[in-house]
Each structure stands twice: as structure tokens, then as C-alpha cells.
A and B are shown apart, each in its own frame.
Chain A
Amino acid sequence: MELTSKDFQSPEDVRWCPGCGDYSILKQFTEVLASRGSDPDRTVLVSGIGCSSRLPYYVNSYGVHSLHGRAPSVATGIKLANPDLEVWIITGDGDALSIGGNQLIHALRRNLNVPILLFNNEIYGLTKGQYSPTSREGQVTKSTPRGSVDHPLNPLTLALGAGATWVARSMDRSPAHLREQLAASQSHQGSALLEIYQNCNVFHDGAFEVWTDKTSQAAHAVFLEAGKPVAWGGSEPSHALHWNGGRPEVRELGRDFGLSDAWVHDPSDRIKAFALASLEGELRPFGLLYRAERPVFAAAQPTEIRSLSELLRSGRTWTVE
């Protein structure tokens, strides 16, 4: 029997603020689970603490709402105990990049076979509006009334640096793009880090508007596609990137520089993925930046199987008759 996204809705009342970007993510997520034939009885959502981490309560599957920052570790234990389960990690910028930074990088470098959905809203929402590790310099928050002096962390370069084998970005306000990335993250064998720009309409409203709003999106969001030029500007691209000896350059498309001169996106190229991930200004990439194949994390198998009785008697023993 085919399931619909309704079958993945839990009986809990959803308790995010009205207008929160999390609603869209939840909707796209359950649709992807349904469309891809996930089994609620074999699916486990693991989260840490924060607004994003409430998501498992709202999905009809197995779920663990765990400790702040520790979802990757709980997921690791689940996968080690039963590698056949479909496990997802649901986390946010505070959860994954601040208190849980260590857990995140080690899950990535081990290539734990789990998609990691990182809801980035550049703010601590559930604790009511302090600056987060992705908040921008100068950002005014409750704990930085005169502007944040901290330099933000880039989740994509961090993931690439930690050895992630699948790195992508999407946003709450592009449902089709988000569903596509969620589905792709699920297909990947290994750690798939999907950063999702998520609007916190209460504490940091409009943070990603320049990329999510229809009027400005074309000029600032680069939607990546493997084998296609890195170009943007609308259905007829106006600009493209030029790989100038390792220095990405923005070029206006025209007679001097055509689409055929542009940098062609190759998700297997880690150096270029770093270059794309490093675009931290008004121009930002969306979609799959990087994908690699590497054995997934699994427990070492014993080289020798011994019964308990043999094990207890191993080593030097003597017998008193």
C-alpha cells in the first residue's frame, strides 16, 4: 500500500510559531518520505535541541529528541546497533555548529550513513533570540544589542573540511528544490549534509530574503546542476562564474564571455566545491556542491568467532581436578 504524506503526520500538535519556515520543511520532508516509499516502522528521526529538533515529534515514525548537539552520536549508536534502519538527523545552527560541533565533524569524517538536515536560521530561536554561530557580524540580537562581534561559521566549508561526502544547500521557500535535495540526500550512501536556509520570522525575519524572494532570487542565487554552467540571472542567465586559474570570477554573459566559457559544475571536484561553498556574500550557491563515494561507517567485524565458553577460557588457564 502506498503511503501519503498524511501517513507520516504524528498525532502531536505542531507547536512552531505561525509563519515559521519549519512548517514548509516539515511538509516537504513528509512528502519526500512518502514519495520515496520510506517505512514509518523502519525510519528513525534523531534530533538534538532547538526549534528544528522538535521535528521528530511531528512525524509518524520512530524518533528520538535527544540532547543538545548530540543527535549525530545517538544516530551513530542506532546505526551501529541496526545498520538497516533509515535514520535521519534533524538539527539547527546552534545545535550542530555550536554545542554539537564535535559530534557533527566526527559523523561527517566517519561517513555515517545518515542524511543530516541542518536548519540554518542564524539565530537561537527556542531560547528567544541570542546570536548563533552563523549569525552575521554586526547582527543585533538579544545578547548582542550593539551588534555581534563574532565571525560566523560557514556550515558548507566546515562540512567539506570535515570530510563530508555529500554537501548541498536549499531553502524553506523553494519547495520543489527542497524536495529534490531531500530526496537526493536520502539516496546518498554516507553522511549527506543538507543546509536549509530557514526563516525565523520572530527573531531574524527576512535573513535569507535576498535568495528566497522572487524579485531578488535570480540575481543572487546560483542553482547548481551537474554538468551545467555555473550561471544565474533568470531563465536566460545573465552572469556566470569563470574559473580563472582557481580564482572564481563573476562574469557578465555576452560577446566576450559566453555560457560555453563558464565554469561547468562538477560535484566530484572538491576544490571547486570549496570555492562555491566559500561564496559568502550576496551571491550564494544552492543545490548539490559536492558528492564523493567512500565506504560508510560500520563496526569492525571480528576476525574470529568464539563461543562464550571459549572466550571465558581464552588465555592461560589451569584445571584443578
Chain B
Amino acid sequence: MESSVVVLLAGDSGDGIQLLGGELVRAAAQSGRDVRTFSDFPAEIRAPQGTLSGVSGFQFRIASETIHEPGSLADCLVVFNAAAYVKYRDRLKPGGLLVAALEGFDARSLALAKLAAGRDLLAEAREQFRVLDLPLKDLTLGALRELKLSQSDTMRSRNMLVLGVLVWMYGISAEAVEAELRSRFKNNPGNLLAYRAGLNFAETLEVQDYRVDLPVHSVERGTFKTINGSQALALGLAAAAHQLGRPMLYASYPITPASEILHELARLQPQFITLFQAEDEIAAVTSAIGASFAGGIGVTASSGPGLSLKSEGLGLAVMTELPLVLIAVQRGGPSTGLPTKTEQSDLTQALHGRHGEAPLPVLAARSSADAFDAAILATKIAVECMTPVILLSDAYIAGSAQPWRIPEVGELPAITAPSARASDLPYARDAHGVRPWVAPGTAGGAHRIGGLEGEVDTGRISYDPENHQAMVKARAAKVDAATRLYGPLEVVQRCPGADTLVLAWGSTYGAVRSDMERRSAAGQKVDYIHLRHLHPLHPELKKQVDRYRRIIVIEMNEGQLAQHLQGLWAIPLESVCKTTGQPFNPDELAELWN
């Protein structure tokens, strides 16, 4: 019996693939399976239909056990046209199931996909794969005939017919999906008719041989929803503002993929968060700094080049010692690069990309669900240490979904603002090196801060050499003291007698963890630590690392963490990396090192 299945849906941007996939994974999760997804789409909004450049993909994996990533090669590839098949055929396992919408393989489709006229792609496909011919257009037209819609309106329901086929194929509760579609598409009966037609087609005819039974996975109790990284960050910020009990300003400028957080916050309207779409990246970060000076917490987000534009602002936040959260949703770079693809290539910039001696805490989310906790922790560190913080996410986390157990508010960590006593000098430090946070409006607290170096304790302008040295050290020490807010160092996998350690960070977590489990199952002795904190590093980390003969660092860049750690520790490290804009998958990792 199978324990998991990987499905890849591919078609034009207008084929409704994301909706179809989203509906399937939610229904699968609700029926007690674990799920993970991966969206792969072009940077263009509506690339020409039927062409290779217009193809987008949605991969998901449904499992009857706990999984960490959306899988490597697909067991099933659903294609809406020839171009989609050409683009993704290499991602289907040999002998896997190809579900092909027949109308997408006509002469016109072949031409759009730049294939020779008369070529029988599906016949070629049968040599490598099992092929299910799906007369999608005819079935949809038949199912919706009574509605007397135009052909183009009718065709919009094609994705729901595919949903019906897949629901039946993977044993997902048809009743639950039907109830969902009924409430969601009250004014669009066509979607429901198409869905039922898909179910019937699968049940009565052709699909029997392809049915996969996935037993229900026992999951923890609680209330769940499926969540992607952007949604998790938005909710995490709402929770952080609530826990802090002060207003939050979320200021950002549109940029892919970070904008999704803004959209999500605009939709949710959390009561403690004010939204500000700024005129540029610089205005976004500096208005956030203004909000923090005024006693709220400023948050901003960006991607790629936007992060560079904010770096001067980070310098000001470091110098003024104001709390600030910068969420960097990394994408392929440099410059405009690959705006919709994923990468971890802004790590060096996050750690070092500022003028002057300007250390600040850097942490990374490792999955969509984890982004919720990471947003709260980033805010907590920013406020409790009075420092800007960079939270690293990436395009993969932003767009991939998984089930998430919704926490009770009582489970969330407390966030405690530092002293706001007007009698404290503006740059007097507490035991952790943290200065007070005295906001305008506080009687007797009037003071001036700014980008010029300030005097120890008073913050008044000082060009004194010894004072500058002291303040540089004090700011760094304050950031180093952020480790008091860390949890215990988590060793994700420990094998007795292992002399090899894998270090990874951010969104590689799922793929690396699956790879580790496979290696362990195969008898390979290797331990695995996944870094939450990139700066300051966990105080226990070096001690752990010193126990191993061999250290392997895995990341989606050209070795930025490895270089950073070598700089700090001067020990040999092996770097396993790639920069293709695509996340790692476990099959690939198995090949990359031994």
C-alpha cells in the first residue's frame, strides 16, 4: 500500500490550477492526510495561452504519514495542454500516470508549443508512462449543457472536472468537497456540475486501475487549516502585535513575492496593525522606523533588490537602537533575477549588507507553518533587545501550503517592551544592554536621537573616539545577548555514533529532513541540525559542531552560510548547494553528497 502520492498539475495561468490544487490539498488534509505543496509559476501575469512560457505548475503530495516536503518526481502528472506536458514531462516518474486533457493536444496546441504538426505526443508518452486520455472539453460541455452557457464560460469549469477525477482517485471525502463547493460557488452551479461529472467519470469508467488508497494518517487533535508562508507571516505578525499590546505599522512597497503578506494583512485587517503602502522601499523602512520611535513596532518586508534599498534604513535603526522587523522573502537574484523563484542568496546581505559596524539578529523560517512562530520570535527579539531584526523567508515558503494546527492565544509567547521610564537616560542600558523605549508623549522624556553617533548613556552627539569604540561594542553586545531569548538547540536527527553533521537553514528543512530520514533508514550515520538563528548563532552550536569529523552545509545559494561559518570558526566545511531557483528535493539531495 502506498503511503504517499505526488501529483503535479500543469497548464496555463488561466486554467485554474492553483484553485484546483488548493481545494484538493485542503480536502485531503481535512480527511486526515498530511500534505505539502509547491507552486511554480512564471513572472509574467498572463503569458500567451498554450505556450511554453505560459505554463505554471502546482505540485502537491498527499500522505498517510507525516511528511516534510512536496516530493521529488511526480507519481501523477495532469496536463491541460501540450506545452505543459513538454515543460514537465521530465518531472514524471517512469511508469507514472499522465492525465492528459485531450483538447490540449490538437494541431493548434502543438503549434503553440512549437512542436511539429502531426506529432503524436501521447503515443510517445505511452512508451514511458501510463496515460489516461481525459476528454476534458467534451465531458465539461456535456456536464454543463443544461446551463446553456457560452463555450468559454463552460470551459472555466474544466478544473473542477479534474478535481472530481482526482478526489475519486485519491479517496478524498467527496461529500466534504461537495459541501465546500456548494458554499464557495453559490452563484456558479457549473463548477458543481463539472465536479460531479469528474467523479462519475472516474468511478464508472476509466480510472479504476489508477486508484490509490491512502489510509488516514493519525494526526494530533486541534483545529486546523491549510496555510502558506505568506498567510502564516501575516497571522504571526497579528499575533505578535497582540502579544506586545502596542500598535504595529506594517509598511511595504509592492514587490514579488513579499507583497502577498501585505495582501493578506489587508484582507484580514488585524486590529493592532496599521497598513501603509509606501511610495518606495526606502519610505517603507523609514516609516516603520518612525512608528517604532513613536512607541509602536515598525515592520517592513521586501524581496531581492528591495532588501538592498532598505539597508541604509537598517543602519539608522541599528544606530538609534529602535526595534524593527524586516521580513526578507528571498527570490532568485541579483537584480530582478528570477522574481517568482526561490533562493537563499540574500543571507550574506542580511548578515553583512550594511555600512559601518552594524550587527543585527537574523533568523529564518523553515516552513510555511513555522513562519508563524518565526514572525512572533522576530518581533520579540526586536522589541526585547531594541534592535532591527531580519527574518528570512523565501519564495518557496511564501507559496507552499501545509496543514497548520491553530494555536490557542494562551500558548503564544509573551513580548515585553523594555523600560519606558522618562527618568532613564535615552541610552542607559539594562542588564542585557538594552536601552529604554521612551515614546513621544511621555512627560519629561523629551530627547533627540539620530544617525550621528551618540554619547554613552545620554545619546547626545559625540565624536569622541573612545565613546565611538564603546558604543560599537555596546551595540554588538546587546545583539549577542539576544541568545537569552533562544530555545534549546534542536538536533533534528541524531544517530548514535555519527561522525557527520549536516547543517541547513530556512526552507531547505523539508527536503533535507526527508533525505536524512532516508539515509538513516538505509543505515547511514549522520546527524542534522537546522539553524533557526543565523546571527547570533545558538550558543551551543559550536560545541555541537566540534563533536563531528565532517560537517556538510546545505543551502540554495553558492555557499553563503558555509563561508560565514568558515569565517567565524576557521574549520573545514563541505558545501552542498545549488542556485537554480528551484527548491531541493530529497532525490536530488541523495545524489549530491555521500
Contacts and interface: CB of A to CB of B under 8 A. Distances in A.
Interface of A: 10-12, 40-44, 46-47, 49, 56-57, 60-67, 70, 72-82, 84-85, 102-103, 106, 299-300, 302-306, 308-309, 311-321
Contact of B283 (A73, A81, A300): A73
Given A299-B276, A306-B271, A319 B294 contact: no
B439 interface: yes
Nearest to A309: B409
B291 interface: yes
B497 to A, nearest CB: 38
A93 to B, nearest CB: 19
B201 to A, nearest CB: 26
A315 B247 CA distance: 24
Nearest to B285: A73
Contacts of A85: 294, 440-441
B410 to A, nearest CB: 10
Interface residues of B, number: 69
Contacts of B210: none
A299 B265 CA distance: 14
Please provide the 3 A-B residue pairs with the shortest distance between their CB atoms, ordered closest to farther: A77-B290, A65-B450, A77-B287
B279 A74 contact: no
Given A77-B249, A312-B407, 15 more contacts: A70-B283, A73-B287, A74-B293, A75-B290, A78-B290, A80-B249, A80-B290, A81-B295, A82-B441, A106-B278, A302-B271, A306-B271, A312-B239, A318-B29, A318-B225
A57 B440 contact: no
Contact of B294 (A49, A77, A102, A300): A77
A219 to B, nearest CB: 41
A42 B440 contact: yes
Contact of B286 (A74, A82, A316): A74
B16 interface: no
A311 B235 contact: yes
Contacts of B316: 66-67
A318 B447 CA distance: 51
Contact of B291 (A49, A78, A314): A78
A317 B282 contact: no
A67 B283 contact: no
B180 A77 contact: no
B131 to A, nearest CB: 34
Given A80-B274, A312-B235, A66 B440 contact: no
Interface stretch (B121-129, B215-223, B326-334, B533-541): B215-223
Contacts of B289: 66, 74, 77
Contacts of B449: 63-65
5 contacts: A41-B445, A64-B448, A85-B440, A306-B270, A311-B268
B448 A76 contact: no
Contacts of B135: none
Nearest to B296: A81
B41 to A, nearest CB: 22
A41 B446 CA distance: 5
B30 A318 contact: yes
A63 B448 contact: yes
A26 to B, nearest CB: 14
B224 interface: yes
A304 B269 contact: yes
A320 B220 contact: yes
A298 to B, nearest CB: 9
Contacts of B447: 62-63
B461 interface: yes
B451 interface: yes
Contacts of A44: 293-294, 440
A82 B287 contact: no
B280 interface: yes
Contacts of A73: 278, 282-284, 286-287, 290
A81 to B, nearest CB: 4
A60 B271 CA distance: 34
Contact of B223 (A41, A67, A80, A317): A317
B295 A82 contact: yes
Contacts of A64: 290, 293, 320, 448-450
Contacts of A78: 290-291, 293-294, 440
B298 interface: yes
B442 interface: yes
Contacts of B180: 316
A77 B295 contact: no
Contacts of B282: 67, 70, 73, 103
Pick the most buried of B286, B443, B450: most chain A CB atoms within 10 A of its CB: B286
Contacts of B445: 41, 62
Nearest to A61: B446
B475 interface: no
Contacts of A40: 446
B274 A66 contact: no
Contacts of B312: 67
A300 B250 CA distance: 13
A67 B448 contact: no
Interface in B179-225: 180, 219-225
Contacts of A300: 275
B291 A77 contact: yes
Interface in B400-416: 406-409
Contacts of B251: 77
B450 A66 contact: yes
Contacts of B440: 41-44, 62, 78, 82, 85
A309 B242 CA distance: 10
A62 B450 CA distance: 11
A53 to B, nearest CB: 9
Contacts of A102: 279-280, 283
Given A300-B275, A318-B224, A57 B461 contact: yes
Nearest to B452: A65
Contacts of B32: 320
Pick the most buried of A44, A74, A316: most chain B CB atoms within 10 A of its CB: A74
B238 interface: yes
A316 B26 contact: yes
B323 to A, nearest CB: 12
Contacts of B442: 41
Pick the most buried of A66, A80, A311: most chain B CB atoms within 10 A of its CB: A80
